Structure 1
Amino acid sequence: MASESSFDVVSKLDRQEVDNAVNQCAKEIAQRYDFRGVDASVSLAGDTITMEANTAERVLAILDVLESKLFRRGVSLKALDLGDKEPRPQGKLYRLVCPLKEGLSQEVAKQITKAIRDEGPKGVKATIQGDEVRVSSKSRDDLQSVIALLKELEVEAALQFVNYR
Protein backbone atom coordinates (compact mmCIF):
# COMPACT_ATOMS: atom_id res chain seq x y z
CA MET A 1 0.00 0.00 0.00
CA ALA A 2 1.35 3.41 -0.97
CA SER A 3 1.93 5.92 1.79
CA GLU A 4 0.22 9.31 1.82
CA SER A 5 2.14 12.42 0.80
CA SER A 6 1.12 15.81 2.14
CA PHE A 7 1.94 19.48 2.49
CA ASP A 8 0.60 22.41 4.53
CA VAL A 9 -0.77 25.68 3.16
CA VAL A 10 0.11 28.50 5.57
CA SER A 11 0.32 32.28 5.64
CA LYS A 12 3.36 33.35 7.65
CA LEU A 13 5.51 36.49 7.72
CA ASP A 14 9.26 36.77 8.03
CA ARG A 15 9.34 39.30 10.89
CA GLN A 16 12.99 40.16 10.31
CA GLU A 17 12.33 41.10 6.68
CA VAL A 18 9.33 43.25 7.69
CA ASP A 19 11.46 45.00 10.33
CA ASN A 20 14.25 45.58 7.79
CA ALA A 21 11.79 47.00 5.24
CA VAL A 22 10.32 49.41 7.83
CA ASN A 23 13.83 50.54 8.84
CA GLN A 24 14.83 51.09 5.20
CA CYS A 25 11.62 53.05 4.62
CA ALA A 26 12.32 55.27 7.65
CA LYS A 27 15.86 55.87 6.43
CA GLU A 28 14.68 56.83 2.94
CA ILE A 29 12.00 59.16 4.35
CA ALA A 30 14.62 60.91 6.47
CA GLN A 31 16.86 61.47 3.43
CA ARG A 32 14.39 62.37 0.68
CA TYR A 33 13.92 66.01 -0.22
CA ASP A 34 10.14 65.79 -0.68
CA PHE A 35 9.73 64.58 2.92
CA ARG A 36 11.67 67.47 4.52
CA GLY A 37 9.60 69.46 7.00
CA VAL A 38 6.48 67.27 6.83
CA ASP A 39 7.01 65.42 10.15
CA ALA A 40 6.96 62.09 8.32
CA SER A 41 7.58 58.87 10.23
CA VAL A 42 7.00 55.15 9.95
CA SER A 43 7.25 52.66 12.81
CA LEU A 44 6.65 49.01 13.57
CA ALA A 45 5.17 48.13 16.98
CA GLY A 46 4.22 44.50 17.48
CA ASP A 47 1.89 43.53 14.64
CA THR A 48 1.16 47.09 13.47
CA ILE A 49 2.91 49.47 11.10
CA THR A 50 2.07 53.14 11.72
CA MET A 51 2.73 55.91 9.19
CA GLU A 52 2.38 59.61 10.05
CA ALA A 53 2.78 62.89 8.16
CA ASN A 54 1.21 66.35 8.09
CA THR A 55 -0.88 65.69 4.94
CA ALA A 56 -2.83 62.69 3.70
CA GLU A 57 -0.91 62.71 0.41
CA ARG A 58 2.42 62.40 2.26
CA VAL A 59 1.09 59.43 4.26
CA LEU A 60 0.15 57.69 1.02
CA ALA A 61 3.63 58.48 -0.35
CA ILE A 62 5.14 56.82 2.75
CA LEU A 63 2.89 53.80 2.10
CA ASP A 64 4.19 53.65 -1.47
CA VAL A 65 7.80 53.65 -0.26
CA LEU A 66 6.99 50.99 2.36
CA GLU A 67 5.28 48.75 -0.20
CA SER A 68 8.29 48.97 -2.52
CA LYS A 69 10.66 48.05 0.32
CA LEU A 70 8.46 45.10 1.37
CA PHE A 71 8.21 43.87 -2.21
CA ARG A 72 11.98 44.03 -2.73
CA ARG A 73 12.48 41.97 0.43
CA GLY A 74 10.09 39.25 -0.72
CA VAL A 75 7.26 40.05 1.68
CA SER A 76 3.82 39.77 0.09
CA LEU A 77 1.79 42.97 0.06
CA LYS A 78 -1.25 40.88 1.03
CA ALA A 79 0.26 40.78 4.52
CA LEU A 80 -0.74 44.44 5.02
CA ASP A 81 -4.32 44.95 6.20
CA LEU A 82 -4.92 48.42 4.73
CA GLY A 83 -8.66 48.56 5.29
CA ASP A 84 -10.01 51.58 3.37
CA LYS A 85 -6.48 52.98 2.79
CA GLU A 86 -7.58 56.42 3.98
CA PRO A 87 -5.30 58.29 6.42
CA ARG A 88 -7.11 59.56 9.52
CA PRO A 89 -6.38 63.00 11.01
CA GLN A 90 -4.94 62.87 14.55
CA GLY A 91 -4.55 66.46 15.65
CA LYS A 92 -2.13 68.13 13.23
CA LEU A 93 -0.89 64.82 11.80
CA TYR A 94 -2.50 62.28 9.50
CA ARG A 95 -2.03 58.66 10.52
CA LEU A 96 -2.45 55.37 8.67
CA VAL A 97 -2.32 52.21 10.77
CA CYS A 98 -1.71 48.90 8.96
CA PRO A 99 -2.04 45.72 11.01
CA LEU A 100 -0.06 42.75 9.69
CA LYS A 101 -2.04 39.66 8.70
CA GLU A 102 -0.60 36.28 9.57
CA GLY A 103 -2.32 32.92 9.50
CA LEU A 104 -5.25 31.81 7.39
CA SER A 105 -8.68 33.05 8.41
CA GLN A 106 -11.56 30.56 8.43
CA GLU A 107 -13.05 32.14 5.29
CA VAL A 108 -9.78 31.84 3.35
CA ALA A 109 -9.24 28.27 4.57
CA LYS A 110 -12.76 27.33 3.44
CA GLN A 111 -12.15 28.99 0.07
CA ILE A 112 -8.94 26.96 -0.37
CA THR A 113 -10.56 23.64 0.55
CA LYS A 114 -13.54 24.37 -1.71
CA ALA A 115 -11.23 25.15 -4.65
CA ILE A 116 -9.29 21.92 -4.08
CA ARG A 117 -12.54 19.92 -3.86
CA ASP A 118 -14.09 21.51 -6.97
CA GLU A 119 -11.12 21.99 -9.31
CA GLY A 120 -8.39 19.74 -7.92
CA PRO A 121 -7.63 16.15 -8.90
CA LYS A 122 -9.71 13.33 -7.43
CA GLY A 123 -8.25 11.58 -4.40
CA VAL A 124 -6.83 14.77 -2.87
CA LYS A 125 -8.01 15.56 0.67
CA ALA A 126 -7.85 19.00 2.26
CA THR A 127 -8.47 19.52 5.98
CA ILE A 128 -8.45 22.73 8.00
CA GLN A 129 -6.15 22.57 11.03
CA GLY A 130 -6.31 25.82 12.98
CA ASP A 131 -4.80 28.56 10.82
CA GLU A 132 -3.41 26.22 8.16
CA VAL A 133 -4.72 23.71 5.63
CA ARG A 134 -3.26 20.20 5.28
CA VAL A 135 -3.47 18.74 1.77
CA SER A 136 -2.80 15.01 1.35
CA SER A 137 -2.89 12.48 -1.47
CA LYS A 138 -1.31 9.20 -2.49
CA SER A 139 0.10 10.79 -5.64
CA ARG A 140 2.83 13.43 -5.43
CA ASP A 141 1.92 14.57 -8.95
CA ASP A 142 -1.59 15.40 -7.72
CA LEU A 143 -0.07 17.48 -4.91
CA GLN A 144 2.06 19.37 -7.44
CA SER A 145 -1.05 20.16 -9.50
CA VAL A 146 -2.86 21.36 -6.33
CA ILE A 147 0.06 23.72 -5.59
CA ALA A 148 -0.19 25.09 -9.14
CA LEU A 149 -3.96 25.52 -8.67
CA LEU A 150 -3.52 27.39 -5.37
CA LYS A 151 -0.89 29.71 -6.84
CA GLU A 152 -3.49 30.82 -9.41
CA LEU A 153 -6.23 31.21 -6.80
CA GLU A 154 -7.13 34.78 -5.75
CA VAL A 155 -7.29 34.85 -1.95
CA GLU A 156 -6.85 37.58 0.66
CA ALA A 157 -3.70 36.03 2.13
CA ALA A 158 -0.11 35.36 1.14
CA LEU A 159 0.16 31.59 0.70
CA GLN A 160 3.21 29.46 1.40
CA PHE A 161 3.54 25.71 0.98
CA VAL A 162 5.54 23.96 3.71
CA ASN A 163 6.19 20.47 5.11
CA TYR A 164 6.06 18.78 1.72
CA ARG A 165 6.58 15.10 2.40
Structure 2
Amino acid sequence: MPSFDIVSEVDRAEIANAVQNVTREIGTRYDFKGSKSTVEALDEGIKVFADDDLKLKQMHELIRGHLHKRGIEPGQLDYQKVDPAAGASVRQVIAVKEGIDRDMARQIVKAIKGSKMKVQVAIQGDELRVTGKKRDDLQAAIQFVKDMGLEQPVQFKNFRD
Protein backbone atom coordinates (compact mmCIF):
# COMPACT_ATOMS: atom_id res chain seq x y z
CA MET A 1 0.00 0.00 0.00
CA PRO A 2 1.49 3.40 -0.97
CA SER A 3 2.62 5.65 1.88
CA PHE A 4 4.78 8.62 2.83
CA ASP A 5 5.98 10.37 5.98
CA ILE A 6 5.43 13.98 7.04
CA VAL A 7 8.48 15.15 8.99
CA SER A 8 10.10 18.39 10.12
CA GLU A 9 13.87 18.06 10.19
CA VAL A 10 16.95 20.20 9.69
CA ASP A 11 20.44 19.38 8.42
CA ARG A 12 22.80 20.33 11.29
CA ALA A 13 25.78 20.57 8.94
CA GLU A 14 23.98 23.28 6.96
CA ILE A 15 23.38 25.22 10.17
CA ALA A 16 27.09 24.99 11.04
CA ASN A 17 28.04 26.15 7.54
CA ALA A 18 25.64 29.09 7.69
CA VAL A 19 26.99 30.12 11.12
CA GLN A 20 30.55 30.03 9.74
CA ASN A 21 29.49 32.25 6.84
CA VAL A 22 27.80 34.71 9.24
CA THR A 23 30.96 34.82 11.37
CA ARG A 24 33.04 35.54 8.27
CA GLU A 25 30.66 38.29 7.17
CA ILE A 26 30.64 39.90 10.64
CA GLY A 27 34.43 40.04 10.48
CA THR A 28 34.41 41.93 7.17
CA ARG A 29 31.48 44.32 7.59
CA TYR A 30 32.25 47.94 8.41
CA ASP A 31 29.37 48.35 10.88
CA PHE A 32 30.76 45.45 12.96
CA LYS A 33 34.37 46.83 13.13
CA GLY A 34 35.62 46.77 16.72
CA SER A 35 32.54 44.82 17.80
CA LYS A 36 32.64 41.79 20.09
CA SER A 37 29.63 40.22 18.36
CA THR A 38 29.82 36.45 17.90
CA VAL A 39 27.67 33.59 16.61
CA GLU A 40 28.18 29.91 17.37
CA ALA A 41 26.33 26.73 16.52
CA LEU A 42 25.19 24.58 19.45
CA ASP A 43 23.51 21.17 19.55
CA GLU A 44 20.11 22.71 20.28
CA GLY A 45 20.46 25.78 18.06
CA ILE A 46 22.46 28.95 17.59
CA LYS A 47 23.96 31.19 20.30
CA VAL A 48 24.22 34.91 19.45
CA PHE A 49 26.20 37.50 21.42
CA ALA A 50 25.95 41.15 20.34
CA ASP A 51 27.11 44.56 21.60
CA ASP A 52 23.59 46.02 21.60
CA ASP A 53 20.04 45.44 20.36
CA LEU A 54 20.72 47.05 16.97
CA LYS A 55 23.60 44.68 16.23
CA LEU A 56 21.47 41.76 17.46
CA LYS A 57 18.74 42.63 14.93
CA GLN A 58 21.37 42.93 12.17
CA MET A 59 22.73 39.52 13.13
CA HIS A 60 19.21 38.06 13.00
CA GLU A 61 18.92 39.28 9.40
CA LEU A 62 22.31 37.80 8.51
CA ILE A 63 21.46 34.45 10.11
CA ARG A 64 18.05 34.28 8.40
CA GLY A 65 19.58 35.12 5.03
CA HIS A 66 22.39 32.59 5.25
CA LEU A 67 20.09 29.83 6.54
CA HIS A 68 17.59 30.53 3.76
CA LYS A 69 20.37 30.22 1.17
CA ARG A 70 21.14 26.80 2.62
CA GLY A 71 17.52 25.60 2.47
CA ILE A 72 16.49 26.09 6.11
CA GLU A 73 13.18 27.91 6.45
CA PRO A 74 12.85 30.83 8.91
CA GLY A 75 9.82 29.11 10.47
CA GLN A 76 12.14 26.51 12.00
CA LEU A 77 13.87 29.13 14.14
CA ASP A 78 12.52 29.78 17.62
CA TYR A 79 13.95 33.00 19.07
CA GLN A 80 14.35 32.68 22.84
CA LYS A 81 14.33 35.52 25.35
CA VAL A 82 17.08 38.15 24.99
CA ASP A 83 19.31 38.12 28.07
CA PRO A 84 21.36 41.17 29.09
CA ALA A 85 25.09 40.49 29.45
CA ALA A 86 28.00 42.60 30.71
CA GLY A 87 27.59 46.30 29.90
CA ALA A 88 25.06 47.03 27.18
CA SER A 89 25.68 43.72 25.39
CA VAL A 90 22.99 41.08 24.93
CA ARG A 91 22.91 37.35 24.34
CA GLN A 92 20.25 35.13 22.85
CA VAL A 93 19.76 31.49 21.97
CA ILE A 94 17.91 30.68 18.75
CA ALA A 95 16.47 27.17 19.03
CA VAL A 96 15.95 25.13 15.88
CA LYS A 97 12.60 23.33 15.85
CA GLU A 98 12.73 19.72 14.71
CA GLY A 99 10.04 17.10 14.75
CA ILE A 100 6.29 17.60 14.73
CA ASP A 101 4.93 18.20 18.23
CA ARG A 102 1.73 16.54 19.45
CA ASP A 103 -0.54 19.58 18.99
CA MET A 104 0.57 20.19 15.42
CA ALA A 105 0.28 16.46 14.61
CA ARG A 106 -3.29 16.38 15.93
CA GLN A 107 -4.12 19.51 13.93
CA ILE A 108 -2.82 17.92 10.71
CA VAL A 109 -4.61 14.61 11.36
CA LYS A 110 -7.89 16.38 12.15
CA ALA A 111 -7.66 18.53 8.99
CA ILE A 112 -6.90 15.55 6.73
CA LYS A 113 -9.71 13.46 8.22
CA GLY A 114 -12.08 16.43 7.97
CA SER A 115 -11.30 16.79 4.26
CA LYS A 116 -12.78 13.32 3.59
CA MET A 117 -9.70 12.13 1.67
CA LYS A 118 -9.28 8.41 1.23
CA VAL A 119 -6.08 8.21 3.28
CA GLN A 120 -5.20 7.09 6.80
CA VAL A 121 -2.89 9.14 9.03
CA ALA A 122 -0.97 7.70 11.98
CA ILE A 123 1.19 9.59 14.48
CA GLN A 124 4.55 7.87 14.94
CA GLY A 125 6.61 9.75 17.48
CA ASP A 126 7.54 13.10 15.96
CA GLU A 127 6.40 12.27 12.43
CA LEU A 128 3.20 11.28 10.64
CA ARG A 129 2.69 8.27 8.34
CA VAL A 130 0.07 8.73 5.63
CA THR A 131 -1.16 5.65 3.74
CA GLY A 132 -3.71 5.26 0.97
CA LYS A 133 -4.75 2.92 -1.81
CA LYS A 134 -3.87 5.22 -4.71
CA ARG A 135 -0.85 7.36 -5.45
CA ASP A 136 -3.16 10.21 -6.51
CA ASP A 137 -4.79 10.24 -3.07
CA LEU A 138 -1.38 10.62 -1.44
CA GLN A 139 -0.40 13.41 -3.80
CA ALA A 140 -3.65 15.19 -2.98
CA ALA A 141 -2.87 14.80 0.74
CA ILE A 142 0.61 16.31 0.20
CA GLN A 143 -0.90 19.30 -1.61
CA PHE A 144 -3.55 19.67 1.10
CA VAL A 145 -0.90 19.80 3.87
CA LYS A 146 1.19 22.29 1.85
CA ASP A 147 -1.87 24.54 1.47
CA MET A 148 -2.66 24.41 5.22
CA GLY A 149 -0.12 27.18 5.90
CA LEU A 150 1.50 25.61 8.96
CA GLU A 151 3.77 27.81 11.08
CA GLN A 152 6.53 25.16 11.08
CA PRO A 153 7.83 23.92 7.71
CA VAL A 154 7.34 20.22 6.98
CA GLN A 155 8.94 17.85 4.50
CA PHE A 156 7.53 14.78 2.80
CA LYS A 157 9.83 11.74 2.86
CA ASN A 158 9.79 8.00 2.08
CA PHE A 159 7.15 8.14 -0.66
CA ARG A 160 6.60 4.47 -1.55
CA ASP A 161 4.35 2.76 -4.04
Q: Residue 130 of structure 2: SS of its match in structure 1? A: strand
3-state DSSP class of the match of 1:163? strand
Q: Is the 8 A contact 1:120 1:145 kept in 2?
A: no
Unaligned runs of 5+ in 2: none
**d(CA) in 2 for partners of 1:134, 1:78:** 22
1:22-67 CA-partner distances (Å, limit 9, x unpaired): 1101110111001112211111121120111111110111010000
Question: Which of 16, 22, 27 is matched with 1:25 structurally?
Answer: 22
Q: Name the CA distance, whole Å, in 2 between partners of 1:38 and 1:130.
A: 44
Q: Which residue of 2 aligns with 1:143?
A: 138
Which stretches of structure 1, 4 residues or longer, exceed 4 Å deviation after superposition?
none
1:69 and 2:66 matched: yes
Amino acid at match of 1:79: Q
Alignment of 1:8-157 (within 5 A): 8-83=5-80, 87-92=82-87, 93-119=89-115, 121=117, 123-157=118-152
Q: 1:9 to 1:120 in 2, by over 3 A?
A: farther
Q: CA-atom RMSD, angstroms?
A: 1.2
Instruction: Number of aligned residue pairs: give it.
Output: 159
- Give unpaired runs (5+ residues) of structure 1: none
Q: Deviations over 1:78-109 (max 9, x none)?
A: 221114xx632112221121111111100111
TM-score by length of 1: 0.91
Percent same amino acid among aligned pairs? 37
Q: Distance in 2 between matches of 1:58 and 1:120?
A: 50
